[in-house]
Amino acid sequence: MTTDAAVIQEAQTHALGAKGIVTMLQDVNVVTTDDIEQAGAILEDVKDRYKVLKKRLDEITKPLNQALKSTRGLFAPALNGLAEAESILKTKIGAAKTAIEQRRLDAAQAARRALAEGNAVIAASIEIERPPQDAAGVQFRKVWTFEVVEPERVPRDFMSIDEQKIRAFVSMHKDGAQIPGVRIFQKDVVVSR
């Protein structure tokens, strides 16, 4: 295994080399067929350097990634179990809070009904449960959320286009692809061999 200082030095050397290439290429004009051929040769060299550097990076990071994956695997069952336990408890606490609130509302309504009917003694005897309070490890707060109940009525501003699906559809159907509201076309991309 390489020492950290050696790896840092190696990475810095490669970074300086890459920066030099980028600086040089800023002034290169590619206009003619000959220019394209020369640029292609440079591109091939750049890709070769990239492959060598990527291989070196993988040599260093592969054992680290394997160790990380293995360590995460060791702790995953416990972490997943605790996350599930948290979810179960939050669900049960939330359900209990909702039930308590409903019982409180029902009791208050029964007391009001008894008073309206002139039964003050009965109204006074109705016990209204105290509301759930924050406790150690438990806090209640209100959050705004939503549920889509009629997707066809949701305004367009809240919709998003699935570019990945469109790209897959266009790749499969090519010039036969037609999607309303989408312009499908070919474009040239530079590919180096």
Q: What mean pLDDT comes out for the span 178-191?
A: 91
Q: What mean pLDDT comes out for the span 138-148?
A: 88
Query: What's the pLDDT tens digit per position in 6-50?
Result: 999 999 999 999 999 999 999 999 999 999 999 999 999 999 999
pLDDT band at 3 (very low <50, low <70, confident <90, very high): low
In Å, the largest CA–CA distance within the chain is 103
Give 104-112's long-range contacts (Cβ < 8 A, gap of 24+). Answer: 104/128, 104/129, 104/131
Task: Show the tokens assigned to 33.
Answer: 């067929």
Query: What's the pLDDT tens digit per position in 56-108?
Result: 999 999 999 999 999 999 999 999 999 999 999 999 999 999 999 999 999 99
**Distance of alpha carbon 36 from alpha carbon 181, whole angstroms:** 36
**Distance of alpha carbon 186 from alpha carbon 175, whole angstroms:** 8
Residue 169 and residue 137 in contact, taking contact as beta carbons nearer than 8 Å: no
Tell how far CA 19 is from the center of its chain.
32
pLDDT exceeds 90 at position 183: yes
pTM confidence score: 0.59
Task: Show the tokens assigned to 179.
Answer: 């999607």
Classify residue 12 as exposed, middle or buried by CB count within 10 Å of its CB (0-12, 13-18, 19+): exposed
**Cβ neighbours of residue 126 under 8 Å, at least 6 residues apart?**
107, 110, 111, 114
Paired with 182 in beta bridges are 179
CA-wise closest residue to 140 among 149, 131, 129, 128: 131
Q: What mean pLDDT comes out for the span 150-158?
A: 93
pLDDT exceeds 80 at position 1: no
pLDDT exceeds 80 at position 51: yes
**Distance of alpha carbon 146 from alpha carbon 168, whole angstroms:** 31
Look at residue 113 and give its three-state secondary structure: helix
The per-residue pLDDT for 141 is 85
